[in-house]
Amino acid sequence: MVAITPVIAARVLFSVLGLFMLATLLYTIFTDGSPFRKEVLTPWMGATLIDFYINVAAIWAWVIYKESNCFGALLWIVLLICFGSISTCLYIVIELFKLSPEDPLYLVFLNSRSSVVDN
């Protein structure tokens, strides 16, 4: 039997969250149409977009830190802007699969050039 480690639990959690957001997005598009209509452009939409892009900027910093080449970082930044939390969850799941199930979960935040000293 496979033990559920924090890395495996995080893989499942972020996979489910990403798929849930994708399903929500597709459902909304198919039932309500395009989000780019005048009647949905309310002050709340503006606040939501500002919140989203501030959050994306914070995630960009982490992606730029994690990625070893500029092309990879740029690609992920474009995906984050275009697809939001779906891309964020995908990025986290990919990074989690780079860890072994026995690794401590905090290693997902570090880049491959970081050195970790265990006490």
pLDDT at 29 over 60: yes
Residue 79, Ramachandran bin (φ over 0: left; ψ between -120 and 50: alpha; else beta): alpha
Is residue 15 within 8 A of residue 89, CB to CB? The reply is yes
Please give the average per-residue pLDDT across 54-64, as a whole number: 91
pLDDT tens-digit profile of 67-83? 989 999 999 999 999 99
Banded pLDDT at 116 (limits 50, 70, 90):
low
Calpha distance 47→102 (Å, rounded): 41
